[in-house]
């Protein structure tokens, strides 16, 4: 497997993927071809051999000549191009960050530190579509799958605090524009209440930049991510339970539900978990299970100084480790556990499982 197409390489996920692949020398031995949906013919990324011109990401004939395609372009692109390629008889590997194919019967959701056995079985059985999980689902599992491994989890409620970059490059730029408008509202000598009134007026005003988010995120938050489902959940909330089940492919269906909230963090998603255990497992055993599950999980002591230093979006931004802290039994009862976890959604929540899947398929 050598000829690999990359689509969506200049978006948030794609640019982090390019950085990681260069940092790990993943391009060595591969012949990458870069595509664009909007900039065909212009210069592509320079991965050390000079930029090549970008190919048209809708050109089925060129795509069909590739051994594998890695796309971070988004679900609309996948919905248009994937069926055309398969209909044209293409049998290459499709590795995708978007959600469109995640729940298809013949696809697998990939998170190899958690479900490598499922992936290996899938490759053996001829699976060709390998799809990255929703970012909060990946980060939740990377943080606490030690509890799943021990079959201790009865159910989970997850309350998320998701960053602007989770919505893509344009949204991230808009958050900074919103912050800029608010920052420029501050004049010397204003009282805090006067400042709040000026700022709130700007946030409610028609001039406030909100084309992407539809409302103010800077100085506020948005308790809605993705579209509405029939049962009142948002699709982001629906993914928690359904994607976890597909990743783990366990015998037991573990209920997972909660609320997903967009906050004004730039990068990295956080979540507060309430976990109903099926036994009064000692906290020391829980800590050992969490830290022993994979090499990236990092337990943060339940103390203020450690929390401020290690359990915030900025403390994990650009880092591969997943922090799990505020871990304690709840006062509700000894089988109720709470913790707070934060990780870089552009790394383990998006780019990292894709590049690792490519390497698995390339036999590296």
Q: Considering only 163-171, 182-190, 271-279, 333-341, which stretch makes contact with ligand NAP by CB under 6 A?
A: 163-171
Tokens standing for residue 356: 């690792």
Least distance from ligand NAP to the Cβ atom of residue 96, Å: 8
Give CA–CA dist 165/10, Å, rounded: 13
Least distance from ligand NAP to the Cβ atom of residue 42, Å: 9
Contact call for residue 350 and ligand NAP (CB under 6 A): yes
Binders of ligand NAP in range 171-190 (CB under 6 A): none
Phi, psi of 313, rounded to the nearest 5 degrees: -55, -45
Least distance from ligand NAP to the Cβ atom of residue 218, Å: 18
Among 6, 69, 73, 128, binds ligand NAP (CB under 6 A): 73
114's CB contacts (< 8 A; 6+ apart) are: 141, 142, 145, 247, 248, 294
Among 4, 13, 21, 139, binds ligand NAP (CB under 6 A): 13
Pick 32 or 289: Cβ nearer ligand NAP: 32
Give CA–CA dist 141/156, Å, rounded: 11
Among 143, 313, 349, 353, binds ligand NAP (CB under 6 A): 349
Least distance from ligand NAP to the Cβ atom of residue 6, Å: 10
Residues that bind ligand NAP (rule: CB under 6 A) add up to a total of 27
Closest-approach residue to ligand NAP (CB)? 11
Least distance from ligand NAP to the Cβ atom of residue 11, Å: 2
Among 14, 44, 45, 264, binds ligand NAP (CB under 6 A): 14
Contact call for residue 345 and ligand NAP (CB under 6 A): yes
Pick 57 or 275: Cβ nearer ligand NAP: 57
Would you say the C-alpha torsion 7, 163, 101, 235 has a positive or negative sign? Answer: negative
Among 1, 80, 123, 169, binds ligand NAP (CB under 6 A): 169
Contact call for residue 164 and ligand NAP (CB under 6 A): no
Pick 217 or 290: Cβ nearer ligand NAP: 217
Pick 150 or 171: Cβ nearer ligand NAP: 171
Phi, psi of 53, rounded to the nearest 5 degrees: -70, 145
Give CA–CA dist 98/79, Å, rounded: 10
Buried b (16+ CB within 10 A) or exposed e, 322-341: bbbbbbebeeeeebbbbbbb
Contact call for residue 217 and ligand NAP (CB under 6 A): no
Binders of ligand NAP in range 22-61 (CB under 6 A): 36-39, 57
Among 5, 8, 146, 353, binds ligand NAP (CB under 6 A): 8
Contact call for residue 277 and ligand NAP (CB under 6 A): no
Beta bridge partners of 339: 273
How far, CA to CA in Å, does 200 sit from each of 161, 191, 240? Answer: 22, 14, 34
Largest Cα–Cα separation, the chain:
69
3-state DSSP assignment of residue 201:
helix
Among 4, 47, 97, 139, binds ligand NAP (CB under 6 A): 97
Tokens standing for residue 285: 């055993």
* Rg for the chain, CA atoms, rounded: 22
Catalytic residue IDs: 135, 269
Q: Which helix (H) or strand (E) holds 192?
A: helix 192-204
Beta strands in 40-152 (DSSP E): 55-56, 68-71, 93-96, 107-110, 129-132
Residues lying near ligand NAP in the complex (CB under 6 A) are found at 8, 10-14, 36-39, 57, 72-75, 97-98, 135, 165-166, 168-170, 345-346, 349-350
């Amino acid at each position: 497997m050598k000829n690999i197409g990359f689509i969506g390489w200049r978006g948030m996920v794609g640019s982090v993927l390019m950085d990681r692949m260069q940092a790990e020398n993943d391009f060595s031995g591969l012949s990458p071809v870069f595509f664009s949906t909007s900039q065909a013919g212009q210069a592509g990324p320079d991965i050390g051999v000079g930029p090549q011109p970008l190919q048209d990401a809708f050109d089925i004939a060129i795509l069909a000549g590739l051994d594998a395609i890695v796309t971070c372009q988004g679900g609309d692109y996948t919905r248009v191009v994937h069926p055309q390629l398969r209909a044209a008889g293409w049998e290459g590997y499709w590795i995708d960050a978007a959600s469109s194919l995640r729940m298809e019967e013949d696809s697998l959701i990939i998170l190899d530190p958690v479900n490598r056995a499922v992936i290996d079985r899938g490759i053996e059985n001829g699976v060709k579509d390998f799809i990255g999980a929703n970012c909060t689902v990946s980060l939740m599992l990377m943080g606490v799958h030690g509890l799943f491994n021990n079959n201790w989890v009865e159910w989970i409620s997850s309350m998320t605090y998701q960053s602007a970059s989770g919505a893509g490059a344009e949204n991230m730029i808009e958050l900074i524009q919103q912050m800029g408008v608010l920052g420029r509202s501050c004049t010397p000598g204003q009282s805090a209440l006067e400042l709040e009134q000026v700022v709130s007026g700007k946030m409610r005003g028609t001039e406030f930049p909100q084309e992407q988010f539809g409302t103010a995120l800077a100085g506020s938050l948005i308790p809605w991510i993705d579209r509405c489902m029939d049962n009142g959940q948002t699709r982001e909330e629906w993914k928690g339970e359904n994607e976890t089940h597909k990743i783990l492919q366990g015998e037991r269906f573990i209920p997972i539900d909660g609320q997903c909230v967009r906050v004004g963090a730039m990068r990295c998603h956080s979540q507060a978990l309430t976990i109903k255990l099926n036994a009064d497992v000692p906290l020391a055993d829980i800590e050992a299970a969490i830290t022993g599950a994979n090499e990236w999980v990092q337990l943060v002591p339940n103390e203020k100084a450690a929390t401020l230093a290690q359990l915030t979006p900025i403390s994990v931004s650009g880092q591969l480790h997943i922090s799990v802290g505020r871990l304690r039994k709840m006062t509700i009862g000894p089988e109720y556990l709470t913790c707070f976890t934060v990780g870089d959604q552009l790394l383990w929540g998006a780019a990292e499982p894709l590049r690792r899947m490519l390497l698995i398929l390339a036999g590296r």
